[in-house]
Amino acid sequence: NLLSYLGTYNLPCLQSFIDHVKRADFSAVRVFLVYSVPGRHYPNNVGSHLHRVGALLKQHCTLPSKTTPESEGPLSWGIIAQASSIGSMGKSPAEWLRGSLLRSLASHTKGPLPMNSNATLSIVYPSVDNVMTGYYGHESGGCLPYSKATNEKQRWLQEYMHQWKAEAYGRTRAMPHIKTYCRVSPCLTKLAYFLVTSANLSKSAWGGPVGKDSGVYVRSYEVGVLYLPKFFDEEYLEIKRTLSS
């Protein structure tokens, strides 16, 4: 997949690096490469985050079954998305956020791909107060391109938003440029998967629907790494819970 991704650039200056990659031993790698490249893509094509992440989670992401009314089920595991830029998502959550992105991020082995997922989604994004009280003040906002005009067109997004906070690690005042996506247990101590990527919350990065078929159109180059517990001989990825984060 890495060679395929590098090849899409079609740049002679990359050939030397590609040759090095061809000679590398990746047998010990236990993560999945996920990438997006400009163009139109379909489910069997690995060129979009939307399709690739959904397919990998459908094949490898395990969540507890809901066997009794009191037991945890897949929907009790929330999804957290954290990015440094937010794109135009449409007039309602169903248009792209829940109908496309969350359909991918909520996939797992025990259920079909939902057409419009009911999974809980929390979006972590710095607020104006976060920026103004950050280490570099308003200058920190330069890496957080979410325009007021776009925000006004999708005010519904506010109900999903959560402030950036990382008190336990002393990073609340450091504005993030990282992009991460994960599915977390109700007790906030386990992850069903963890994705770190360059892909922000946008159709351009993940892929936006085109036409009435299952195709999506990607406008940017993106690359990330998906961690799945089973490839580390674990049921879930353990994380530390702190009340201040």
Same domain, 21 and 92: no
On whether residue 100 sits in a domain, the answer given is: yes
On whether residue 128 sits in a domain, the answer given is: yes
Nearest to 216 by CA among 199, 229, 232: 199
Say what the pLDDT of residue 195 is.
99
> How many domains is the chain partitioned into structurally?
2
On whether residue 66 sits in a domain, the answer given is: no
Same domain, 14 and 38: no
Look at residue 225 and tell me whether its pLDDT is greater than 90: yes
Look at residue 187 and tell me whether its pLDDT is greater than 60: yes
Domain limits for position 14 = 1-26
| Size of the chain, expressed as the number of residues it contains | 245
Say what the pLDDT of residue 213 is.
79
Is 179 annotated in a binding site? The answer is yes
Look at residue 44 and tell me whether its pLDDT is greater than 70: yes
Mean pLDDT of 140-160: 92
Same domain, 102 and 123: yes
pTM: 0.93
On whether residue 158 sits in a domain, the answer given is: yes
Contact by Cβ (8 Å): 221, 37: yes
Same domain, 184 and 226: yes
What percentage of the chain has pLDDT greater than the value 90? 78
Contact by Cβ (8 Å): 51, 41: yes
Mean pLDDT of 179-205: 96
Same domain, 42 and 19: no
On whether residue 243 sits in a domain, the answer given is: no
| Whole-angstrom Cα Rg for the chain | 19
On whether residue 167 sits in a domain, the answer given is: yes
Mean pLDDT of 5-33: 96
- Would you name the residues annotated as active-site residues? 177
